[in-house]
Amino acid sequence: MINTNSVIIDTGEIQESKHLKVTSLTYQNNTESNYTEKIETLEKNFNYSDNSNYYWSASELSILYGTPLYAEASPSQKIALNHLYWVTQYSQIAASEANTILCNDVTNGVFSTIGGYETLCKELELESDQEKSHIHAFHKIGYETKRSLLQKAAFNAPLGENRGKSVENYLNDTTSNRTLQKFLSFNPLALEDCALRLLKKIRLESKANCYSPYLHELEKKNLFLPGPRTGILKVFPRYLLRLFILSWGSSYFLASQYYCLRYIANMLLKTAEYEYTRYFRELEKKGEFIPVPTEISRYHLLDESFHTTMSRLIAQEVYKDFAKPTVYERFIGNLSVELMQKQLLGGLAGGIPAIFQDDSCFMLAYYRLLRGPLFEMSSQEALQWLEKCLCHEHEGFHVNLKYHHRLLYDLRSFFGGIDYMSPVNREMSFMSSGGSIDKAIKENIHSFRQFSKSIAN
């Protein structure tokens, strides 16, 4: 059961703890920084035509980089694929930052019930405000870029977070559900019934002072728990996500544990943003034109460095301020990370660098990209090129494997020191097993066969 009276050190000891001194320093530095303001200014001055003839990063951060199609693409098509990669990445980042705002509110409410954590709460509030500015900038640049490159087709089938029909919806009732069902050893109905019963039980036992005021306000307004379907949290079924959110808002320990997931999101973001920053520095050193999106990526990395510091600090240190986790808390903490590995980090894309899912998640978006104004292919041509690009080994897979190895090393270092984590989480076993080009191609061949049949029908 969740232990709602789990603080084990007094306020004086909390105030003297090393990690809260780091929190104070982080909050001070973040407050004094002007990275968010720089992003806001750059966004206001952005005009796609002024940035359209320049790469926004090294060429390997491009949709379909390293594929046979990329080798035959024209110079203007390659630049467009480079820009669309930025749009795809930051569409996902914006969605995940919306998740962050929600979960900051939920967990901040828990920390606010404990004396001594006031600065930590202020930092989380500041981060949420910064995320809102980031999201606005990403949406504006993404919209203008897609409108210029893809015209109406962009809004029928945008890459990344699709509205309406998407390949994720197409596979939702097959691959992902089978994987989750097998992983949990439950049928979906039994799992949902179990989750809902746990929700009720947790709520009854959450009357103590750690229950998040954010969740309490939802109750007062007769609103059900949120279950966002975008961002990194979309990897969880909605009923299970609601169980996690209620748990994060009902336990000191699990409020801290959520930051393990946020750290994964932080590091996924950094995987690409380190490359944008390197490109920014190269252009700056040469005195060359720096595209606005490249500059925004640079300042976003600097802004997010404060957020990453807090994720690491809360996930690795703050949880130690509280009693040892109960069986339930340990189970929920490990389950959320295991599922994140399985659903978000368990594969290797051949068409989008720094994405660690197989290409089935993006096949429909690739197809519509090839059919759209950028390539203007027939349906048959698009399917032929998809088969060449996704079902055979090429340079793009090896580029992505490089990013996979880097992130796997970082996450193993992070989770290796968290004592309540299971071996599969400390070793990132599910992610590690997904780092195989042969396995990725085999998955793509299977998914492509299904996809081509659906197109033919």
Per residue in 250-308, pLDDT (tens digit) is 999 999 999 999 999 999 999 999 999 999 999 999 999 999 999 999 999 999 999 99
pLDDT value at residue 366: 97
* pLDDT over 50 (residue 381): yes
* pLDDT (tens digit per residue) in 201-242: 655 554 457 889 999 898 888 887 888 989 999 999 998 999
* pLDDT over 50 (residue 1): no
Paired tokens of 412: 């193993």
In terms of Cα–Cα distance, which of 177, 178, 142 is closest to 163?
A: 142
Q: Cβ atoms within 10 A of the Cβ of 341, count?
A: 24
Please report which confidence band the pLDDT of residue 190 belongs to, taking 50, 70 and 90 as the band edges: low
* pLDDT over 60 (residue 184): no
- Average pLDDT over every residue of 73-91: 98
| Domain residue extents for the chain | 70-456
DSSP summary character for residue 157:
S
Question: In sequence order, what are the beta bridge partners of 7?
Answer: 322
Is 226 in contact with 193 (CB distance < 8 Å)?
A: no
pLDDT value at residue 182: 38
- Average pLDDT over every residue of 326-353: 96
Predicted TM-score (pTM) of the model is 0.88
Please report which confidence band the pLDDT of residue 16 belongs to, taking 50, 70 and 90 as the band edges: low
pLDDT value at residue 239: 87
In terms of Cα–Cα distance, which of 107, 112, 106, 117 is closest to 9?
A: 117
pLDDT value at residue 10: 47
Concatenating the DSSP letter of every residue in 192-257 gives: HHHHHHHHHHHHHT--STTS-HHHHHHHHTTPPPP---SSGGGGS-HHHHHHHHHHHTT-HHHHHH
Rg (CA), the chain: 22
* pLDDT over 90 (residue 15): no
